[in-house]
Structure 1
Amino acid sequence: MRWPRQLMSLLFVLAFLVGPPTVLLTVIGPPLRGWPTTDQLRAWLQQPLTEETLTAGLALGAWLIWLLVAYTVAVRTIIRLHATTAWLRRVPLPTPLQATASGMAGAAVFGITTNTITDAPPQPAQPAATGTAAFHDETAPEDHRDPVLREDGVAVAGGWLPRDVAEQVTAAAALVWLRRRRDYQPHPTHPDDTDLTPLPPTVTAVQAALADTPTTPPSDGIAALEALPAGGVGLTGPGALPVGRGLLVTAILAGQRHPSTSLIVTKATLALLLGPAAKTLGRRLPLTIVDNVDDAAQLLQPVSPAAGGFIPGQHQDEPSSGRSHQTIVLLNEHDGDEKQLTRLAETGTATAALTVVLGKRPDGPDWHANSTGHLHDPHHPGMPSPRLCVLDQTAATDLLTVIARPEPTPPHPATERPSLPYAGSPELPLSRQVDRHGPQRLPTTPQHRLHLRILGDPQLLIDDEPLAIRRSASLQVLVYLAIHPNGANTAQLTDAIWPGLPRRSLTGRLYTALSDLRSTIRAASDLPVIDHSDDRYRLNPVHIDIDLWQLHATTHHAATALVPAAAAWQGVLNAYPADLAATRAWPWLDPHREATRRRILDLCVALAAKDSDPHRSLQLLQDGIRIDPYNADLHRLVGRALTALEEPEAAAELQHRYQQFLTQVGFDNGPSPRLSFANTRRL
C-alpha cells in the first residue's frame, strides 16, 4: 500500500512549509521592518560586514529558499488538481444497472470486469534527465521531440552531437541496414535473421531525435574541425576526454565523406578514449593506429608520389595527390616527452596537419574544454566559444559500431534474436477477411469498419475514410501493436517510441498517447480497439482489420496451398503494396521492416525454384528485385536464369546496372560502404 508513504511525504512537506517561517519569525522576526533610512545606508556603506547585516543576509536567504520551495509545491498542486479535474470530466456516469451492480459487487470487482483500456489521468510532466535526447520535451505538442533544435544539436545519454554530425550518424545507420539488405541470401525454409539485431541505443536515440525533421544540406564534418586553431591545440579541463571522443567520431565521419581526410591516433590514446572496446573496435575503424609519437611524426613526413610511400587515409588503389588531404593527429600529453611532442607539432605545422593533444601542449596553444563541449581560449576571453561533439565511452562506442567495418565472421548461433514477425507463424492471428475455410462472421454487426493500414503510409481508416491521429506517439502505438499481435507491455512501448529516455519519465506520456488515441477513435466509432490486461496492450482482432495480418495470412496460404506459383505470387503482390511503414523513419521499425521484406523474398525464391517454366521463374525473381533492388543474391539468381535462357548480354547488363545503382547510394565494391547521404534517411 502506498498511502503510508504518501502520508509521510505530505506531513514532511507541511512541516517544511510551516516550520521554517515559524522559527524565523520567532527568533529573528519579519524579513523587512521598513525601508532603511539614509543614516542606516551610510553606516552600511562604511562598514558592510557587521553581525547585524550578516544575520539579516542569512535570514533573507532562508526566506528566499522557503519561497522557492513553497512556489514549487503550489505549482505541483495546481497541476495535480487540473489533471484530476480533467480526468473526472471524462469519466462516464454509470447507468442504473451499473450502479446497482457496483453497489452489490463492490468497487474493486467493478474495476476488473473489463479488459478494455480505460482513460488514465494524465500524469504531470517529469523533467527530462540530464543527457537524454534534447528533442524530447514533456511539454511539446509533438511528444517525442522538441520542435526547435537546442543549440543546433542533439543531446543523448552520454553526450551531445552537433546537427551535422547527428545527420551523418543517421546516414551511417541507414547504410548499415542497406548492407544487411544487400548481403541477405533468401532461403525458402530456414531464414537467417541473426543480423537483424537493433542498432546500439545511442544510435537509435539520434535517429529518433531526427525522425520526421526536415533534412538539412549535408555537411562534410570539416566545419567542426575548422573551429580549432590552425596547426592544432591542447585541450585541458573536464571536457578534454569527452571532446577527444567527439573529435574521434567527427574525424572518422569526415573521412567517410572525404577519403582524403585521415586520422592518426596513438594506441594509448585510443585505449584512453574507448576503454576495453579499443582493441576489438580499433582494427575495424578507418584510421591509422601508431605505437608512439615518433611513428606519428614519421607518417607526417612529406611523401613523394614516386617514392611509393604511405599517406595516411589514402586507399592503396587511390592515386597519390601529394599533401592536398587533411590529416588529424589525436594523442595525449603522456604519449611522449616535451621534445617529441614539439617535434611532432613542428612536423604537423609544416604539413598542414591538425594535431590535437588531450592535455597541455608544449608549444601551445592550450584551450579549456568544459563538460558541455564548449572551448575557451584563456588568452582571448572575448572570442566566441565553439562547441564540439562530446561523448562518454558508451556513447562513442555505440556510434563507432555503426561506422566500423562489419565483423568478418558471422554472429554466434547462440546470439539472441529480436522478436520479429514471421510469415505463417502460429502466434500471428489471421485476419478475419482471410481464412482457408472462407470469411468469418462477426458475432455482431458493427456500426463502423475499422482498418489499419501500415504497409506504405500508416493510416487508420474508418469506413474507408482516414482518421486524423494528432500525436506521433499514438500512431506509433498502433503500428507497434499491429506488428506485435500478441501484445506489448508498457516498458516495451516506451523503449521503442522514446529511446534514450528513462522509463520513469515516460509512463505518463504513454498514458497520454493512449488516452488521446482512444478518445480520437471513440469520437468516430464506439468500437473498443485496444484491450489492456496484465499490463499488456493488444489490438482487438474482432473490431479492426490490419493489412499486415492479411499479408501474413496470404503468404502462409501461398507457401502451403497447392495452387500455381504465379497465382499464389500475384496474391502476395496484391497484399504487399509497399514496405512496412515506408514513409516513417522510426528507428524501432527497421528490424521489423526488414524481417517482413525478407519473408516476401523467401517466398519469391521458393516459388521460383518450384516453377517448372523458366520464363515464369525468371519473372518471379525479377519481381523480387523490384521489391528489394539492393539484394545481391536476387541479382545473381536473375543473372543465372538469363544465362540459362541464352541471354548473356542481358545478364551482363543487369549486373552493370546493379553495380552503378550501389555506387550511387554509397556502396563501393568492398564489404563496407562509403558514407553517402543520398536517399539514406528513409530506406
Structure 2
Amino acid sequence: MARQVPAAAVHTVTALLALAPPALLYQIGWLTVSELSTDQLRAWAHQPLNADFIAVLGCAGAEALWVLLVAAVTDHALQYLAARLQWHCTLHLPGPLQALAAALLGTTAVTTAGALPAAAHDHTAADADPPPADRATPTRDAPAQPPPADPSLPRQGPTTASTTASAAPPPTTESARHASPPVLNRTSAHPPPHVSGEKVRVVAGDTLWELAAEHLGDATRWREIYTLNRGQHQANGYALTNPDTIHVGWKLTIPSHQATSAPAPPRPEPPAAGDSGPAAPEAKTTPSAPSAPHTSPAPQRSTPHTPALSTPAETTGATTSASHPERPHTQPYDETGIVLPARGWISIGLAAAIAAVATLLRLQRRRHVQLTFTTPASTTPRSAPVPPPLAHADAIGRRHLGLTSNDQQPAHPTMPAPIGVDGHGTEVSLFRLPGHGLAIRGDGAVPAARAILAAVLTTGAAETASTRPVVVTTADLLGQLLPADVPVVGLDPEGTTYDGERLVVLADTDAAVAHAEEEMTSRRRLLDTFDTTTIADVNARSDHAETPPPYVLLIEPATRHAGRVQAIATHRIALDLHPIVLGPHDGLPTVEITRDGTTRSDRPHSLHRVSTLSAGDLAAVLAMLTDAQARPEPGVEFDDPAAAGTPSVPTVEPCPVPPESPAALVHLRVLGPVTVTTAAGPVTTGMRSGSYMVLAVLAAHPAGRTLHQLTADLHPDVDPASAVKRVRTDITTARRVLRTASGHEEHMFIVFDPATGRYHLDPQTVTVDLWHMLTAINHATTSDNDEEVLAALRRATDLYAGDFAEGHDHPWAVDYATSYRHQILTAYARIAEILEPDHPDRAVAALERATDLDPVNEELYQRIMRIHGRQQRPDAVRRTLRRLEERLADLVDAEPSQATRRVAERQFPPAASRAGRAS
C-alpha cells in the first residue's frame, strides 16, 4: 500500500538540509553575519570580479550539490526500504531541484551513450537480451564462449520440483553479475502490451519464452507477457515478480497477437526500482547453459556493421525447408484416427490391422534375407517393407498394438474388420453392425468402400484360416476402387497360397450374387448337420474340420437382383454373410458418407465416421497382403550365387570410427536396453525415457537429425507443436544429466550444427556400442587374415547385447533393429565359416546362437544342416529341419522352402534318403 508524505514535511526537510552548511560555517567562525546597508550592497554588486566573490559562488554551488546528493541518497534509501517492507514512501523534490536533476541525468545519459565504443552498436540481441538457458540459478565462474544457435535451448523444463518453471533469461555467474560493465541494450524498451483477454494455464515445463512462441507466434515477445502480468497475485498466493520463475497452475494473461511498434521515447528514463527483469545483459556466459541468440532491430548507420544473427527458428526452418521440404508426419492425428497423405482418413483400428500385416510381412522377408559378408556395415537401415503412403499408419498402429522393436511374434488386433467409429470414438466392426447389411452412398462412398475392403482383408492376417474373411466382388467394381494401372485380380491369382483365394473377383453382379447364394446354401446345410443355429456355434466345436470364415459380398446396386440380395441379407447373423451395396438399396440400412468420411442418415446409426482410402493406398494394402501370405516357395540355397543374385546395398551413412582406447566421458549402449554409463558408473536417475530415445536416434544417425526428423521419429502420433516441445525438453534433460554425471559442465554432448540444422552426438565425448560393432565388422570385411577377421567379429558379437533400443515401442526403431540384427547374423555366419574346418562344433554353436536371435532365417538352418551332414549326423539334420518347421508354423504359418528341404535331403545317406522319399 502506497503512502504519500505531506508537502510541508518535504519542504521542511529540504530547508534543513540547505541551512545545514551555512550553520556549520557560522559555528566555526568562517562565516560572519553583519548588518548591510543599501549602499554597501550596491557597491558590492558593481565591484569587479575578485577571489572572494568566486569563493562565495563556489561555496554556494557546493552547497547546492550537497543538497542534491543527500536528497538523491535519501530517495533511493526510501525506495529500497519501501520495496523491502511493502510500504512505498514517495518523496517529491522542489520544482527547481527536479528540473536540475532531470537536466543532469539527461546530460549524463547522452554523454555515456556517446562515449561507448563503436563496437557496442554491433552487439546482437544475444548479448543484450539472452533467452532462457538451462539454469535459472547462478553457477560457478567459467570461461566465456559464444552461444550456439541451438533452437532447443530456449525451451527449457522446470527448474524446481514440479511446481516452478524456468521462465526468462537467468543470471549467469555471481562474479559476472557484480563485475561486468553495462552494455547498451536496444531491445529493453517495450511498449505497454495490448491485452487480448486470453488466459493460459502454466503447466510443467512452460516458460515465458515458450508461451510467447506458442500463443503470440514470436518468442521474443515474452517481455510483454511479463509486463502485463507482473505483480498480479495468483491462486497460490504468489505473484509474478521475477521473469525467471513461474509456477505451475498460474493463469497468465496473453497480450494481443498483433505486436505494437515502440515509439521513440523523448528522453531516457531510469529503470523502475525493484524491477528484477533482465534489463542489462551479462558479460560472461556459463558454457553449460549457452543461450540462443535472436534478432533485434539495429539502428541505421552509414558505416558497415556485423549483421545480427538469425533466430534459431529461422535458421532451422531455412535448413529444414531446403533439405526436408515437408515434415514426415504432418498428418493430423487424434484419439480416433489419422489422416493419410492422400487425403484419406482411417480409424486407429484399421491402422492397427495394417500394422499387423506389416509385422507379418517383416517376418516373411527375414526368412529369405541373404547373409552376404562383402557388403559394408552401416547405421543406415534397409528399406522398410511398408509402402511410404502407409508408413504413418503403420507407426500409429504399432504404437496402438504395443509392439516393440524386438518383438518376434506376429500382432493380433482385437477388433475384426474395423470400418469406422461411433459418436463416442469407439471402434465399430463391420461384423457387429445392426441390421441385415449396409448400403453406402454419397461423395465418400467409393473411398469408404476401399477402406471397408482393406479392413475386411487385413482381419486375422496372423490368425487361423477360420478367422480370415473372404470377400466376393465384381471386376467392374474392383476396377473403380483400384488405380487404372493395377491389375484387377485377387490376392492369389496363381492359386499357390495355403489358404486359397480370399478376394474372389467375378465377372459381374449376377455371378457374385449366385456365388453368395451357393455359400448360403452350403452354410445352411452345415447348420442342419450339426443341429446349431449360427456359424459361430459351428466354429466353436472341435469335432469337425470345416470352419467357414466370415463372408462379405461387395457389389453395386441392381434392381433385378434386389430380392436375391435381400434374401442373403436376411441370414446375415446366422450364416455370417455380410452384404455391402455401393449405392442405394431399399432393404438395407443406408448411410450417406461425405468426402471426409462423416455419415448422415435418416435413421439412427452406430457409424459416426467411416474410414476412407485412396485408390493408391488400397493397392498398397493389397500388395502387402499378397506378399505376406504363406505359400510354397522355391527358396534359395545360400551357396548358389546365381540364384542368390547381388544383394542391394543401401545408401551408407558414415559411421564415426571410435579410437582404440576411447577416452570418452559417456558410454552409450543402444544394442539391448538403452543405457548410459560414465566413469562414476551407470546413470540411473534424472534421465527421461524420451531422452534415452533421443540418444538412440542420434546413435543411429551419426550425421545428425533435424528437429522435425526427431519429432517424426519419436512422436508420430502427437501434435507437432507438442512434439517439438517434448524433444526440446528431452535434449535439455539429457545434456543436464550427462554434465552432472560426468562432472564436465563445459561439454554439450548433444551438439547442434547451425549450418545443417541437425543435432548429433559429439564423438569426442560420447562413444556408442553400435559404432564399435559396425567398425569391427567393417574391419573384418577388409582384412585377409582369418585370425584378425575372427577377432574383429568376436568383438562385434560380444557388443551385440540385444536388439536395437530393446523394450521401446517406437515404430521407427523396428527397421533399424532388423538391419543391425541382420548384420550380426552375417558376422556369426562368417565366424562359422572360419571355425568349421578345425572346430565344427564351435561353428554349429555360433550358428545356433544366431538362430536364437532370428528364428526364421532359413539360411542359418541350411548352414547348420550342411555342417551336420559333413560330420555324418543325420539325426542332427532332422532335428534342425524339425525345429525350423515348428518355428515357421508358429510365427508365420508357413513351411520351409523347397531349397531348404533339398539341402536337408542331400545330407542323408542314399538309403535313408530313398526311405524318406518313400515314406
**RMSD of aligned residue pairs (Cα, Å):** 4.9
Q: Using the alignment, how far apart are the partners of 1:328 and 1:593 within structure 2?
A: 38
Change (3 A) 1:131 1:431: closer
Name the residue aligned to 1:10: none
Residues 1:662 and 2:867 are matched in the alignment: no
Name the residue aligned to 2:456: 251
Q: Using the alignment, how far apart are the partners of 2:329 and 2:844 within structure 1?
A: 56
Change (3 A) 1:404 1:497: farther
2:591 is paired with a residue whose SS is strand
Residues 1:359 and 2:359 are matched in the alignment: no
Q: TM-score, normalised by structure 2?
A: 0.51
Name the residue aligned to 1:272: 480
Deviating more after overlay: 155-164 vs 630-639: 155-164
How high is the sequence identity, in percent, across the aligned residues? Answer: 21
> Equivalences for 1:208-223 in 2 at 5 Å?
208-210=395-397, 215=402, 218-219=413-414, 221-222=416-417
User: Deviation string for 1:105-157 (max 9, x for gaps)?
Assistant: x9958969x9xx99xxxxxxxxx99993535xxxxxxxxxxxxxx24x55555
Deviating more after overlay: 189-198 vs 357-366: 189-198
CA contact (8 A) 2:752 2:759 kept: yes
Name the residue aligned to 2:844: 618
Residues 1:189 and 2:354 are matched in the alignment: no
User: Deviation string for 1:235-265 (max 9, x for gaps)?
Assistant: 1233322321221111102253453421112
Q: Using the alignment, how far apart are the partners of 2:372 and 2:647 within structure 1?
A: 20
Name the residue aligned to 2:798: 574
Residues 1:652 and 2:882 are matched in the alignment: no
Name the residue aligned to 1:484: 701
2:458 is paired with a residue whose SS is helix
User: Deviation string for 1:330-366 (max 9, x for gaps)?
Assistant: 1233xxx310344344345466521111111254432
1:279 is paired with a residue whose SS is coil
CA contact (8 A) 1:231 1:352 kept: no
Q: Using the alignment, how far apart are the partners of 1:402 and 1:461 within structure 2?
A: 42
Match of 1:196, as an amino acid? S
Change (3 A) 1:286 1:416: farther
Change (3 A) 1:542 1:81: closer
Change (3 A) 1:372 1:490: same
Name the residue aligned to 1:287: 503
Find the partner of 1:391 among 595, 602, 613: 613
- Shift, 1:184, TM fit: 0.7
1:325 is paired with a residue whose SS is coil
Find the partner of 1:543 among 753, 765, 783: 765
Find the partner of 2:853 among 602, 614, 627: 627
Match of 1:479, as an amino acid? A
Name the residue aligned to 1:205: 392
Name the residue aligned to 2:331: 132
Residues 1:241 and 2:446 are matched in the alignment: yes
CA contact (8 A) 1:457 1:583 kept: yes
2:552 is paired with a residue whose SS is strand
CA contact (8 A) 1:301 1:347 kept: yes
Change (3 A) 1:369 1:78: closer
User: Deviation string for 1:57-116 (max 9, x for gaps)?
Assistant: xxxxxxxxxx99975999933984686789995999442999xxx9xxx9958969x9xx
CA contact (8 A) 2:803 2:821 kept: yes
Change (3 A) 1:502 1:615: same
Change (3 A) 1:354 1:97: closer
Find the partner of 2:355 among 158, 163, 170: 170
Name the residue aligned to 1:589: 813
- Shift, 1:501, TM fit: 8.4
Find the partner of 1:529 among 734, 746, 749: 749
Q: Using the alignment, how far apart are the partners of 2:401 and 2:510 within structure 1?
A: 46
Q: Using the alignment, how far apart are the partners of 2:330 and 2:360 within structure 1?
A: 26
Find the partner of 2:284 among 84, 95, 107: 95
Residues 1:77 and 2:293 are matched in the alignment: no
CA contact (8 A) 1:227 1:386 kept: no
Name the residue aligned to 1:21: none
> Equivalences for 1:142-157 in 2 at 5 Å?
150-151=335-336, 153=337, 156-157=340-341
1:354 is paired with a residue whose SS is strand
Q: Using the alignment, how far apart are the partners of 1:627 and 1:521 within structure 2?
A: 32
CA contact (8 A) 1:170 1:203 kept: no
Change (3 A) 1:651 1:166: same
CA contact (8 A) 1:197 1:418 kept: no
- The structure with more radius of gyration: 2
Match of 1:179, as an amino acid? Q
- Shift, 1:230, TM fit: 4.4
CA contact (8 A) 2:865 2:880 kept: yes
- Shift, 1:172, TM fit: 1.6
CA contact (8 A) 2:444 2:595 kept: yes
2:439 is paired with a residue whose SS is strand
Q: Using the alignment, how far apart are the partners of 2:511 and 2:896 within structure 1?
A: 28
2:414 is paired with a residue whose SS is coil
CA contact (8 A) 2:333 2:717 kept: no
Change (3 A) 1:247 1:636: same
Match of 2:561, as an amino acid? Q
- Shift, 1:634, TM fit: 0.4
Structure 2: 5+ residue stretches without partners = 1-193, 200-210, 227-241, 246-277, 288-292, 294-303, 317-326, 404-411, 418-427, 493-500, 524-542, 636-644, 898-919
Name the residue aligned to 1:552: 774
Give the structure, 1 or 2, with the largest relative contact order (CA under 8 Å, sep 6 or more): 1
Change (3 A) 1:77 1:486: closer
1:600 is paired with a residue whose SS is helix
- Shift, 1:416, TM fit: 8.8
Change (3 A) 1:391 1:619: same
Q: Using the alignment, how far apart are the partners of 2:597 and 2:414 within structure 1?
A: 19
Q: Using the alignment, how far apart are the partners of 2:568 and 2:363 within structure 1?
A: 41
Q: Using the alignment, how far apart are the partners of 1:359 and 1:501 within structure 2?
A: 37
2:216 is paired with a residue whose SS is helix
Q: Using the alignment, how far apart are the partners of 1:541 and 1:453 within structure 2?
A: 14
User: Deviation string for 1:353-407 (max 9, x for gaps)?
Assistant: 21111111254432233455455542x33x5445543333344444444333269
Residues 1:431 and 2:658 are matched in the alignment: yes
Q: Using the alignment, how far apart are the partners of 1:615 and 1:134 within structure 2?
A: 54
Match of 1:219, as an amino acid? T
CA contact (8 A) 1:453 1:459 kept: yes
User: Deviation string for 1:251-304 (max 9, x for gaps)?
Assistant: 102253453421112222223223236427854684111221012123223268
Change (3 A) 1:162 1:586: same
User: Deviation string for 1:415-447 (max 9, x for gaps)?
Assistant: 9965456xxxxx322223xx3xxx26x5xxx8x
Q: Using the alignment, how far apart are the partners of 1:499 and 1:202 within structure 2?
A: 14
Q: Using the alignment, how far apart are the partners of 1:651 and 1:174 within structure 2?
A: 30
Change (3 A) 1:555 1:325: closer
